[in-house]
Every structure is written in structure tokens, then in C-alpha cells.
Amino acid sequence: MKPPGKMNLLRLLFIAVLLACSQAHAQSPASSEEISFWESVRDSKNPAELQAYLDQYPNGRFAVLAKARLAALGQNSPAQPAPRPQAAPASPPAGSYAPASVTAATRMPQVGDSWSYKLSYPRLRGQWGQPAQGPASHLIKVGAVVDGKIVDELSIDGGTTVETTHSSGSYLAPQGVSVYSPYLIALRDLPATGSVGEIAILDAPCGKAYRCRAAGRIAGREQVSVPAGQFLATKIIVDESWQPTSGNTMGIQSGRMNGGRTITIWYVAEIKRAVKFSSRLTVGDIPPVEPHFDLELVSYQVK
């Protein structure tokens, strides 16, 4: 076989370089974490949540869409900063900042700390055909820390803020949905495993139309993935049961008021709050609270 001429060799080399450059500049597929993050904020009306995605994924697969959504909301995406020298440590993304470590003296949240969550309602088997509930954005900010208690403010989808006071106790209480002691890891030392002690139930229907009881246990440490990232968390499982009170007037419906749910909570000390709540109905037809939801951290800012 006659060897290729010089011009043919140059042509082949040129084609090879073009192919290599094309492959180098091809956009890699989005990771599952990026897709989950984007899905949690894509329909948000809160510019901070869209900006949090751009801060974490400045060249992400959905960056153009995020910038378009910000523009539609009247927010301009800031110009990308110049690259830092390699010797300088990378700064954490805006809206997702936590201290490197937490001590007994610094574990309490401070005024201005904030956490953004996505509330969603996964469907259960057998629920097809029923109306779906859309997701909601929960923004929580610390307004005051007084006498070992935390007063925070919840705004749902940018609406009116509602204050809630949290103590070091073990309790179930309404905060958009019924959640378990969100600051437990900041307010108490938790053992590796064991019971969380007596659980108070502060949801209004319990004690009126329902008698509610709950017991919880620490299930150890576990990796958890939420839109804000992956964390090594302390996992707590709470089982709640309920039944109608003796004075309930629901008549034939009273039997359907017996039931229960399991709510699982993941706490991260550096974030000073729970990063995920997952509640599932175990039995019953007429529960006293919304029993089936996921509340997952999207972004955060703590000192």
C-alpha cells in the first residue's frame, strides 16, 4: 500500500484536532444532584433560589434557563467573577454557607440565619386520579434568640411571615406542615442512638378532635442528599398515632379517624437545623394533619 502523501497527513491531523476540540467542548451531562437542585427551583418565584442554583452551577446545563427566569422576575444575574488563583481556597456558594465546624459555643443559630426549603407531596400507591398538590417554597429566617429559645419567621411562596418560637423540647408542631423540633441538634446534645424522650404534640387538632401520641428514636448517622447538597446527618424517626376523642361527633366517620404516620428527620450540626423532613401516612383515612410530604433544604446561610 502506498503511504499517504504529506498533504493527506496534514489533512488527517487537522481533522483529528477538530474532533478532539469538539469533544473537549461538549457539555457533559448534568449530574443527578444538579437535576434535583434545578427541579426544586425551576418554578420558584424567589430570585434568591434561582441565584443559588447559578452560584453552585455557574456553567450548569440549566444556567441559561435560570438566567432567563431571573430576567423575567426583574433580576439580573451578576457577572461571573474572575478565576481565583489556585492557591486561594474556594468560597462556598452564596446562599449556601455554613461554618467549617460547630462547637458548643457556636452551634446556636444567630439572627439573620436563613434556610430555604422545597415542600413537595409525593404520590402514594393508589392515589392516582386524585388532585395533586403543587410544591411550595418555604423561606425561614431567625428573627431572635432569647433565653435559649429561637424565634424564626416562615414565609411560604413569598407570602406573609409567621413567627414560631422553638425550645429545646421534643415536639411536633405546625410550621407550614407538621414537623418535628427543627433545631433539636442546635439546642440539645444528642446521643448516638436511643429514645428522644417524651414528645409533646402541639398541632391544634390533637387534644380537640383527636388524641395523638408519638414516640421517637435516634437511628444513628446517615448520608442524605437534598437539593442543597449531600450531608452526613443525624437521623431521627418519629412514629405518631391518633384516634378520635370520646366527645367527637363525627359519628360513622369516627372509625376512619384512627391512624398514624412516620416522620423521618435528618439533622446536620454545621447547618444548625434539619435539612430534610419526610412524612408518610402508615394507616388511616382522616388524619389530623397533612401526613404525606417531603420538606428538603434548597439553600442556606448560617454564621
pLDDT of residue 75: 55
pLDDT of residue 38: 75
CA torsion 210-215-220-222 (nearest 10°) is -10
Q: In what order do the strands lie in the sheet with 177-180?
A: 177-180, 171-175, 200-201
pLDDT of residue 194: 94
Residue ranges matching CATH 2.40.360 in the chain: 96-301
pLDDT of residue 1: 47
Q: CATH assignment of 96-301? A: 2.40.360
Residue 288's CB is within 10 A of a number of other CB atoms, namely: 25
pLDDT of residue 83: 43
pLDDT of residue 5: 55
According to DSSP, the residues that pair with 264 across neighbouring strands are: 237, 278
Please give the chain's pLDDT, 303 residues, in tens. 445 555 564 465 455 545 544 444 445 567 766 776 777 777 777 777 778 778 777 888 888 888 887 787 775 544 444 444 333 333 344 456 677 677 777 889 999 999 999 999 987 655 544 567 889 999 999 999 999 999 999 999 999 999 999 999 999 999 999 999 999 999 998 889 999 999 999 999 998 889 999 999 999 999 999 999 999 999 999 999 999 988 766 655 777 889 999 999 999 999 999 999 999 999 998 999 999 999 999 999 998
DSSP state of 138: E
pLDDT of residue 130: 53
Please, are residues 109 and 273 in contact by the beta-carbon 8 Å criterion? yes
pLDDT of residue 53: 75
pLDDT of residue 273: 96
**Half-sphere exposure in the Cβ direction for 165 (13 Å, CA):** 5
pLDDT of residue 65: 81
